[in-house]
A and B are shown apart, each in its own frame.
Chain A
Amino acid sequence: AQSVSQHNHHVILSEAASLELGCNYSYGGTVNLFWYVQYPGQHLQLLLKYFSGDPLVKGIKGFEAEFIKSKFSFNLRKPSVQWSDTAEYFCAVIHFGNEKLTFGTGTRLTIIP
């Protein structure tokens, strides 16, 4: 069964710091990958997705992620975080032929003004 690991459970950063959140998946076949964000009190929304082409994917609000197939990784990055980025971030994977996403355990990001 496929699984997703997010090793950073809680990350605390100051505003303007750079961010990298780790995401590793276990499945070795063809996959698509997603990052979702859940702002306090709001529903999960799609931040960015990878399903082919350029392994460097750009999303909303200045976020980007790099798919490294050899490392089974899809880490999320942002060069300079803002207080409004405080949220929980979930990585998700789906393998070809499946109809269900598998989510990681999430990373809580706290930005200190």
Chain B
Amino acid sequence: DGGITQSPKYLFRKEGQNVTLSCEQNLNHDAMYWYRQDPGQGLRLIYYSQIVNDFQKGDIAEGYSVSREKKESFPLTVTSAQKNPTAFYLCASTPRQGAPWTEGYTFGSGTRLTVV
């Protein structure tokens, strides 16, 4: 079945350590997105990428980094510069430019990151 795989489902890290969250899709989608979900704050956009080797900052990019070396993969690194990294992280994708307008997103099942 086609879909978006986020791994791991739960991740624990010590404060000050960088951590990378995986997002892989086999939908042949061009665009991929990272959102952060916090209680009472909804989903906030961290980064997005519409093509390989290109990405743009979202509303809350500080303390995060991404890469898009392959169409299927869009890993997110939460760096030690992120002040409050504990959250639920969601990856999403869309088929092509213009697809968000008509189709919205397909989401992965998320990774819950806890920094202690």
Which residue numbers of A lie inside 8 Å of B, CB to CB?
4, 6, 9, 32, 34, 36, 42-46, 49, 51, 90, 92, 94, 96, 98-106
Contact = CB atoms under 8 A, between A and B. Distances in A.
B97 interface: yes
A4 B102 CA distance: 18
A36 B105 CA distance: 10
Interface string B1-40: 0000000000000000000000000000001010100001
Interface in B93-109: 94, 97-98, 100-105, 107-109
Interface residues of B, number: 26
The 10 closest A-B pairs by CB, nearest first: A105-B42, A103-B43, A44-B107, A43-B109, A103-B42, A43-B107, A34-B104, A106-B42, A99-B100, A104-B42
B108 A105 contact: no
B84 interface: no
Given A43-B109, A44-B90, A100-B33, A51 B42 contact: no
Contacts of A4: 42
Contacts of B35: 103
A86 B90 CA distance: 20
A100 B48 contact: yes
Given A42-B109, A44-B107, A100-B33, A105 B41 contact: yes
Contacts of A49: 103-104
Contacts of B43: 90, 103, 106
Contact of A32 (B45, B48, B101): B101
Given A45-B107, A100-B45, A94 B40 contact: no
